[in-house]
């Protein structure tokens, strides 16, 4: 329903840094070939000052293309994207808890240009319920489906596929929620 050339995404319970849009618009002005620009996030529990981790994503187009083979290379709530490019690959489509990753994969296949800023753009509210949503059979099947797609399309080779699926099974199915939260904060966050 958005009608502007560029669309910014943010979750309702997150807090944008005061200079978020200024930084992104400046980057876009100096890099007109870019189709998506995101950035880093800081995660907090309770009060915004209670930062418990940072999700660091790759910044350069090449590093994002390399990283997409392992995990979602954008923090969805920081993304600004060129509307016509998103629509050209079919827009967001239903894919359980992974609509954004699915979109980025299709945009990568189309050869679009990506970037992430090194700055933290959004403070994101997290908690045990967020870690619970990142687990279970349904979530694992969704993630495995993306890995299946990338394998079929030769975006990843069989060894990368097996590694990706094994890690996801361990974290999303075999691990209890309380341990999953600890692992996310200690291994997947800075």
pLDDT at residue 189, rounded to an integer:
60
End of a domain among 105, 126, 147? Answer: 126
Between vectors from CA 95 to CA 20 and to CA 32, what angle results, nearest 5°?
A: 35
Residues 69 and 12 in one domain: yes
pLDDT at residue 46, rounded to an integer:
86
Residues 112 and 167 in one domain: no
Give me the half-sphere count of Cα atoms (radius 13 Å) on the Cβ side of residue 71. 10
Residues 40 and 97 in one domain: yes
Residues 140 and 104 in one domain: no
pLDDT at residue 184, rounded to an integer:
57
φ, ψ of residue 15 in degrees (nearest 5): -125, 115
pLDDT at residue 186, rounded to an integer:
58
Give the domain CATH number at 55.
3.90.550.10
- The residues, any chain, with a CB within 8 Å of residue 157's CB and separated by 6 or more, are 151
Write the burial class of residue 24 (CB in 10 Å: 0-12 exposed, 13-18 middle, 19+ buried): buried
Residues 141 and 119 in one domain: no
Domain tally, the chain: 2
Residues 119 and 133 in one domain: no
End of a domain among 126, 148, 179? Answer: 126
Longest dimension (CA), the chain: 46
3-state secondary structure of 39: strand
Residues 53 and 145 in one domain: no
pLDDT at residue 131, rounded to an integer:
55
pLDDT at residue 17, rounded to an integer:
96
| Domain region containing 64 | 1-126
Distance CA 125, CA 52 (A): 10
pLDDT at residue 158, rounded to an integer:
97
Q: Which residues of the chain have pLDDT under 70?
A: 127-134, 177-190
């Amino acid at each position: 329903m958005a009608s502007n050339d560029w669309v910014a995404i943010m979750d309702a319970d997150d807090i944008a840094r005061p200079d978020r849009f200024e930084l992104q618009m400046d980057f876009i002005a100096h890099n007109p070939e870019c189709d998506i620009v995101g950035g880093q996030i800081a995660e907090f529990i309770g009060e915004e000052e209670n930062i418990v981790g940072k999700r660091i994503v790759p910044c350069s187009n090449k590093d994002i293309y390399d990283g997409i083979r392992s995990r979602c290379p954008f923090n969805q709530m920081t993304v600004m994207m060129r509307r016509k490019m998103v629509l050209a690959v079919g827009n967001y489509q239903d894919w359980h808890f992974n609509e954004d990753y699915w979109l980025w994969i299709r945009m990568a296949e189309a050869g679009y240009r990506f970037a992430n800023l090194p700055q933290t753009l959004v403070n994101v509210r997290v908690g045990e319920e967020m870690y619970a949503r990142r687990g279970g059979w349904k979530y694992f099947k969704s993630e495995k489906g993306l890995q299946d797609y990338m394998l079929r399309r030769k975006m990843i080779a069989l060894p990368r596929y097996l590694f990706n699926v094994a890690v996801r099974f361990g974290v999303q199915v075999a691990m209890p929620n309380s341990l999953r939260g600890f692992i996310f904060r200690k291994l997947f966050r800075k």
